[in-house]
Amino acid sequence: MLFQLVLNSEFEELFACVKQGIFEHVDNVFGWDDEFQRNRLLNDYQPSWFHWIYREKERIGLVCFKPYDNAYHIHLLIIYPQYQSQKVGQKVMMQIHNKTRLEQRNQVTLSSFRSNTRAISFYQALGYQVIDDSDEDFVGMALYLDNNPLP
């Protein structure tokens, strides 16, 4: 698995990937609005947080994560449908966990749409626990890590 920074010139590809990945959940909760979502990606996220995921030379998804305090927060993990159920997401998360440990950070956090039960189950299988259940549309999750990188 290789992470490659998304270039500013690839914004339309980024937007199409994000829309494909989260449209259903955003639309159900807020209603999807292309212009609002474009502006959100441009203004609320830093370009350095977005990475294409490659397996060998093939682009297979997108991950968006940022450092903060002593942690990383994952905003998005989108694996293209044809690569799902192949443990790709698990490998991506292990890579992020190792990066977290190598930088001597001690946790990875994320939030998921409550309606995205597949994602919640995926993260729970990796050891994430629900730490914030107060929002009717989202759950906050975290994984606490030791600082020993895996081989």
CB contact set of 133 (below 8 Å; sequence gap of 6+): 139, 140
CB contact set of 71 (below 8 Å; sequence gap of 6+): 100, 105, 106, 107, 108, 109
The whole-number pLDDT of residue 148 equals 55
Domain ranges of the chain: 2-144
Q: Which CATH superfamily is 2-144 part of?
A: Gcn5-related N-acetyltransferase (GNAT) (3.40.630.30)
Q: What is the pLDDT of residues 43-65, one digit of tens each?
A: 999 999 999 999 999 999 999 99
State the Cα–Cα distance between residues 109 and 23, nearest whole angstrom: 22
Backbone CA torsion sign across 117, 123, 127, 128:
negative
Task: Supply 46's token pair.
Answer: 């830093």
State the Cα–Cα distance between residues 61 and 52, nearest whole angstrom: 6
The whole-number pLDDT of residue 146 equals 76
Q: Which residue has the tokens 């991506």?
A: 92
State the Cα–Cα distance between residues 65 and 38, nearest whole angstrom: 18
The whole-number pLDDT of residue 138 equals 95
Mind listing the pLDDT tens digit of every residue in the chain (151 residues)?
999 999 999 999 999 999 999 999 999 999 999 999 999 999 999 999 999 999 999 999 999 999 999 999 999 999 999 999 999 999 999 999 999 999 999 999 999 999 999 999 999 999 999 999 999 999 999 999 975 555 5
The whole-number pLDDT of residue 115 equals 92
